[in-house]
Structure 1
Amino acid sequence: MARTDIPVTTVASINQQAANSFDVAGTAADTSNGNSFTVTGREMLLVENTDDDTAYTFTVASAPDRLLRTADIVNYSLNFGEKALLGPFPMEGWNNSGKVNLNASNAAIKFLPFRIPNTL
């Protein structure tokens, strides 16, 4: 089955503040199909375990670089309530047909990919 695509949030400039302009929300992991987000080389990923008493894991699948090396982040464990910040994800090594692919052990894992704009 196709992975569930997660929209990428573009970071708002501090000079463009308006009501709710800095609010963000993660997307619950699709544990059956996996998730993905579009990669341009300027993306970061915030991952949160929203459970209140159980640790869960997530995986970020890399793509072969020009030397055919991979560097998957496999079964990274987040204790309940913990967050992890990863990136940026350069195109080389993370571009799986224009996407970064994600998997999680439970829907309590929430993914929030965000893009740093070229100029703030």
Structure 2
Amino acid sequence: MSTLNLYESMSGLSAQMADAARANDWDRLSTLEHQVSGLREQMILQDPQEPSASLSETERRRKIELIKRMLADDREVRRHTDPWMDGVRQMLGGNVRGRAMRNAYAAMID
């Protein structure tokens, strides 16, 4: 698969990730992220064989367009996942503080 085709595939998956995030479909989002990761690994292995310098001006513009689109999709995903992650951090942090407080009071009672 050419580098440009990999970018095309990654961009399509990236758009699906944004849709999954909007729908709070975390399982689907995770599955799609793994697929993008696989394509990224493939690109890393392939890139030395097909440097960007070999792309035509039209292909370079398309590559830039795809990267910008993926960055916009990433912002959309983060818009939905960051608040959820903040809630998880607060919950876990509260559990840690609660456990520390219970341990401190238990030590005082003993």
TM beyond 0.5: no
- Decide which structure has greater strand share: 1
- Higher Cα Rg, which structure: 2
TM-score (norm 1): 0.25
- Decide which structure has greater helix share: 2
TM-score (norm 2): 0.27
